[in-house]
Amino acid sequence: MSRIFVTGGSGRLGRSVVAGLAQAGHEVVSVDRDAVPAELLPAGVVQETADLLAPGEALRLIGAAKPDAVIHLAAIAVPFSAPEDVIFGTNTRLAFAVISAATEVGVRRIVTASSPTVLGYGCPEGWLPPSFPLDERTPAKPWNAYALSKHIAEQTVQMFATAQGEKIRYAAFRPCFVISPEEWEGAPTQQGHTLAERLADPALSAPALFNYVDARDVADFLDLLLQKMDDIPNGETFFVGAADALATAPLAELMPKFLPGSEALSSGLTGTSPAFSIAKARELLGWQPKRTWRTELKPTLNDEASTLVTAGGGAKETS
Ligand SMILES: NC(=O)c1ccc[n+]([C@@H]2O[C@H](COP(=O)([O-])OP(=O)(O)OC[C@H]3O[C@@H](n4cnc5c(N)ncnc54)[C@H](O)[C@@H]3O)[C@@H](O)[C@H]2O)c1
C-alpha cells in the first residue's frame, strides 16, 4: 500500500482514479478546487480543496501529505474551453508547480496527465501521420494551446527526470477520450453527446480519431505504472486507450471519410483495430484495458447506437 496524492481528483477522470486507487488498497489524498460531495467520496479518501496555482499551495499540500507518489491530473481539460492564453498559462503552470513541488518534497514517483492531442490531429490546415497505428514515436505537432500545454507537461517531466537522474521516477500518460462509469449508463460525455450518439454518428468521434478509454482502466494503468516505475526507463510517456475503436465499422473504412488523404495509411486498421497503439503500455508494464464499449454500454443504448442516426454532428475538438 502507498500513499498517493492525486490532483484534479474531483474531475471526470480523477473521480475514477481516486476510487480505483482506494479500492486497490492505497491511501489517497485528493486535491481539487472543487470538492466531491462527502457521500460520494470513497471510504478512507482524504479530500482537500485548494487552488494549486496559489503561491506555495502545491508545496504546502504535498509537503503535509508526504506521499509516496503524486498523480497530477488538474488542468483545463477541454481545448478552446477558455481563451488560448488562459489554457496555456493554467496547464503549464499547474504541471510545473505540482511536479516541482513533488520533486522538492522528495516524492519518489511523479506522474502527469498529457493528451493524445499533442500529435496535432484536427489541425485546420490538415494533418496526416507518417503511419497508423499512432504510437509514442509519432511526432508531436500541437496546433492549439491545449495540445501545446500538454506537450510542455511531457517535456517538464523529461526535464526533471534529466535533472534528477535515477533518484526520482517520472512518467507522463496520454489518456484517450475518457468515459466515466456513469457515461455507460447514458450520462453525457465530455463533448455533451451520449455514447450511443457518438457511436451512431461517426462524425462525433472522428475528431478524436475514434479513440476512447474507460476511466477505471486508466486507474488500473496508473496503479500498475506506479508499481513498475523503478523497473522502466525514467521519463517515459504512454498512450492509454481501449483495445478497440469507438466505432461500429472498421477504421479502414471510416478514417478516409474524415481524414482526407488517409486511405492508404489507414488501410491496416481492419476489424476493431483502434488508431492508437497501446503496445508500449502492454510491453513495458503488462497493462491491458479490461473494458470496451461492446461490453460496457447498456444493452438498450447499444441497440440505440446501431439504429440511431443523428442529424449532422458537430466535429468538435476533444482532449
Ligand atoms: N477527459 C478526457 O477525455 C481527457 C483526455 C486526455 C487527457 N485528459 C487529461 O486528463 C486530466 C483530467 O481530465 P478530466 O477529464 O478529468 O478533466 P476535468 O475538467 O473533469 O477535471 C480537471 C479537474 O482539475 C481541477 N482543477 C483545475 N484547475 C485547478 C487548480 N488550479 N487547482 C486545483 N484543481 C484544479 C478542476 O476543478 C477539475 O476537477 C487533465 O489533465 C486532462 O487534460 C483528459
Atom of ligand 1 nearest to the CA of 150: 43
In a domain, 113, yes or no: yes
Are 12 and 216 in contact, with CB atoms under 8 Å apart? Answer: no
Nearest CA to ligand 1 atom 1: 178
**Structural domain boundaries, residue 124:** 3-180+213-243+275-290
Q: Is the CB–ligand 1 distance for residue 122 below 6 Å?
A: no
CATH number of the domain enclosing 42: 3.40.50.720
> Mutate which of 5, 6, 12, 34 to test ligand 1's pocket (most atoms within 8 Å of Cβ)?
12
For the cut 90, the answer to whether the pLDDT of residue 43 exceeds it is yes
Atom of ligand 1 nearest to the CA of 175: 6
Kindly report the pTM of this predicted structure: 0.95
In a domain, 65, yes or no: yes
| pLDDT given at position 192 | 87
Share of the chain above pLDDT 70, in %: 94
> Mutate which of 16, 33, 111 to test ligand 1's pocket (most atoms within 8 Å of Cβ)?
33
| pLDDT given at position 301 | 59
Residue 89 Cα to ligand 1 middle (Å): 14
Atom of ligand 1 nearest to the CA of 14: 16
Helices in 239-315 by DSSP H: which ranges?
A: 251-258, 279-285, 293-296, 299-307
Atom of ligand 1 nearest to the CA of 116: 6
Are 240 and 174 in contact, with CB atoms under 8 Å apart? Answer: yes
Average pLDDT, the chain: 94
Q: Considering its fold, how many domains does the chain have in total?
A: 1
Residue 72 Cα to ligand 1 middle (Å): 9
In a domain, 195, yes or no: no
Tell me the three cell numbers of residue 149.
Answer: 500545454
Residue 77 Cα to ligand 1 middle (Å): 5
Residue 147 Cα to ligand 1 middle (Å): 14
Q: Is the CB–ligand 1 distance for residue 13 below 6 Å?
A: yes
Q: Residues 219-243, buried b or exposed e (16+ Cβ, 10 A)?
A: bbbbbbbbeebeeeebbbbbbbbbb
Q: What is the pLDDT of residues 72-118, one digit of tens each?
A: 999 999 999 999 999 999 999 999 999 999 999 999 999 999 999 99
Q: What is the pLDDT of residues 261-306, one digit of tens each?
A: 999 999 999 999 999 999 999 999 999 999 999 999 876 656 665 5
Atom of ligand 1 nearest to the CA of 57: 32
Nearest CA to ligand 1 atom 42: 77
In a domain, 259, yes or no: no
In this structure, what DSSP letter does residue 256 have? H
Share of the chain above pLDDT 90, in %: 91
Residue 73 Cα to ligand 1 middle (Å): 5
Q: What is the pLDDT of residues 146-188, one digit of tens each?
A: 999 999 999 999 999 999 999 999 999 999 999 999 999 999 9
In a domain, 203, yes or no: no
For the cut 50, the answer to whether the pLDDT of residue 311 exceeds it is no
In a domain, 188, yes or no: no
In a domain, 61, yes or no: yes
Q: Is the CB–ligand 1 distance for residue 10 below 6 Å?
A: yes
In a domain, 230, yes or no: yes
Helix 57-65 / helix 84-105 crossing angle, nearest 10 deg: 40
Q: Is the CB–ligand 1 distance for residue 74 below 6 Å?
A: yes
In this structure, what DSSP letter does residue 86 have? H
